[in-house]
A = this chain, B = another copy of it.
């Protein structure tokens, strides 16, 4: 029963097959191959508008390059205190932005509110002595598995605009959110004012395929330059492009995400008495007490402790390829706690 993280999962067979399929003879390097060229159109169709797509090796790179395109070095990135960019990227945003500051906000479910954004932006707008609030970055779905609805996204976009901030979304688990919300991808991105999206596929069945979706053509050159400079322009671009094309084809991405979300709901139901936050996507957070955690582990469950030390909280992440048997076993283990 491995619920450590969705990045411990394997690659979906459809995606692996697509990679093999492009492994034929020579192809132009550095994104001039057919598969790479097809990305803009494929994502354009998905997002119902023209977009530019820039593949990179990791979600950290997608986030950091996006942020660097939206803030000057003397700027501030506003984000939740539990955001991946703040806690888990080893300072990559600071590196790529040449030293911008992350200003941390609080909020339930690892989500931020328009009010918090306006307050934080206002607090730091003190001329040259302070950094300059420059971009809002949120995670969709959030680090607590929560989603921003289209109307919440629109309100955040409005707040960002009012405060003169760019708007970036860390979509490492974007599929989980779209599958859960059942909305159009456009509704929670550019229609709400999002300029750059880190579109993640790796956690949901790809091998290593992350893309910066650029809704603002004026920023494309800068992203391209920063990607090259960061060492993220693949020479053999066809293989990462093939992953993404297969990921989108026939809605594979939503099928995989939907399966994981559904399993997480089952776990959530079984863990009802101990849930720390409602289950919205493929992450389940529980507080069954120290003894409860020990029992779950004794039953064979693997997972990470979460939150501050001593908080006795666990995170269970369901992967796209989680065996149904593991879900059933975990349901039983949870039932045994009661």
Q: List the interface of chain A (C-beta within 8 A of B).
A: 2, 4-5, 7-11, 16, 19-20, 23-30, 56-62, 64-65, 72-74, 87-92, 94-102, 122-123, 128-132, 202-203, 207-208, 222, 224-236, 239-240, 308-309, 319, 321
Contact = CB atoms under 8 A, between A and B. Distances in A.
A36 to B, nearest CB: 13
Contact of A225 (B59, B90, B228): B90
B28 A11 contact: no
How many chain copies? 4
B87 A130 contact: yes
A94 B4 CA distance: 34
21 contacts: A2-B26, A4-B28, A8-B28, A10-B24, A20-B20, A25-B321, A30-B129, A56-B231, A60-B228, A60-B231, A61-B230, A61-B231, A62-B231, A72-B225, A89-B231, A90-B128, A90-B129, A90-B228, A122-B309, A208-B240, A231-B232
Nearest to A57: B57
A233 to B, nearest CB: 7
A65 B24 CA distance: 32
B99 A102 contact: no
Nearest to A12: B23
A324 to B, nearest CB: 14
A239 B207 contact: yes
6 residue pairs, one from A and one from B, having the closest CB atoms: A61-B231, A94-B99, A57-B57, A7-B235, A90-B228, A98-B98
Given A57-B231, A98-B98, A235-B7, A226 B129 contact: no
Given A128-B227, A208-B240, 9 more contacts: A7-B236, A25-B321, A89-B229, A90-B129, A90-B130, A90-B131, A92-B231, A97-B99, A208-B239
A9 B26 contact: yes
A92 B101 CA distance: 10
A228 B129 contact: yes
Contacts of A90: 74, 128-131, 225, 228-229, 233
Nearest to A5: B29
B10 A23 contact: yes
Which residue of A24, A90, A100 has the most chain B CB atoms within 10 A of its CB atom? A90
Nearest to A227: B128
A249 to B, nearest CB: 19
A26 to B, nearest CB: 4
A29 B8 contact: yes
B11 A239 contact: yes
Given A231-B64, A234-B58, A236-B202, A101 B91 contact: yes
Contacts of A100: 91, 94
A225 B132 contact: yes
Contact of A73 (B30, B102, B229): B229
B91 A95 contact: no
A59 B30 CA distance: 13
Contacts of A28: 4, 8
Nearest to A29: B7
Given A94-B100, A130-B87, A26 B231 contact: no
Contacts of A30: 7, 128-129
